[in-house]
Structure 1
Amino acid sequence: MSVAEGRSGREQLLEAALEYFAANGVHNESLRSLAANIGTSHRMLNYHFGSREGLLAAVVDAVEQRQRLAYAALMDSVGTGLPRTATRAFWNEVVEEALAYGPLVFELAAHAMQGERHAKGLRDTLVTPWIDILAESLVQAGRDPAIAPVQARLALGVVNGLIFDLLLTGDRSGADAAHGLFMDLIGLDDD
């Protein structure tokens, strides 16, 4: 898609970097090396993102934003309940995204855990916003507001753990089965 079709040069570069990092990992990729691999100049990457750290933060934000938009679309489609079919559909969507971008997100999350400068912002975006979103959904579905944040943290931990398992083992059917059991345990109603 060209800039004339609605995407800015920054958006195009971000998408190219996202696809490259998803396929190759971040490692110690310099802006010069990345630029050569995605068909641009390091000066353009600096112009749009300020630094390697700024680019990496934008990459993770883009992946997270996709997942938040998908979740918002799910909630719009189901209203105030959390039906099993919709939750399973969202799980499948998250898994497909994770198969493409999960290793990158986990790599950058590890950078955040290690206190690397480019990933510090991830400490604020990879967990807390999801707990807030999930807790709100649980309350709307009739769960107790006092424990909804804890339930949300549990759900997020289970999903992240199952994605981690899937990315390491490649066992999609095992991860799907475990997710199904989790839905049973938390009492998600059938549609």
Structure 2
Amino acid sequence: MRTVLFLGMILWGCVCGIAQEFKAASLWDAYGDVKEIKYSTKDPLMVQKKMKFDRNGKLKNSVIVYNADGYPLGLDMNMGMINTSVKFVYSSDNKLTDVDLASAYKGNAHKDISFEYKDGVMTGEKIRSEEKGKKQKEWEGIYTFSNYEYDAKGNWISRDVKLKITDLPDGKTEETAYKETRKITYWKE
């Protein structure tokens, strides 16, 4: 009986020990054995410009929940007075289509981000943001991407960006255009 139990424990350990491949880099439209992505951009809305991934494809220092195929589903964080929830939605071909972000701290903030693709290439992104509390603010940002350049692994490393930000209550718009580049390093080079 002990031998059967011991063999069962070893078998269970082998099954649990199989490494799952995660695809957190897909949140930044990058695929493969990505180790790090560094952006060079004039995007006023981009907060994090450097992302690191572990060997299994998980975003380092994160609390993201993944689906069975290794794609990020979302996260929920409660840090005392700050509550944040992020949900990711994918198309049937595993392209990120929507991000829903809700945060509560001195009021409520909600961002809905959607992505557009043509022939598998991201052509646009739309952000709608509402902040309620002491500061009432509502705006929309529309990105248009074009003129992509790719690395040897098929991930984009340069693209032209047009950004139009509209303050929704008064309709005031601000437009900018710039080239966005990124350096991607891979685990197996």
Q: The TM-score by the shorter chain falls in which range?
A: under 0.3
Higher helix share: 1
Alignment TM-score, normalising by the size of structure 2: 0.24
Higher strand share: 2
Alignment TM-score, normalising by the size of structure 1: 0.24
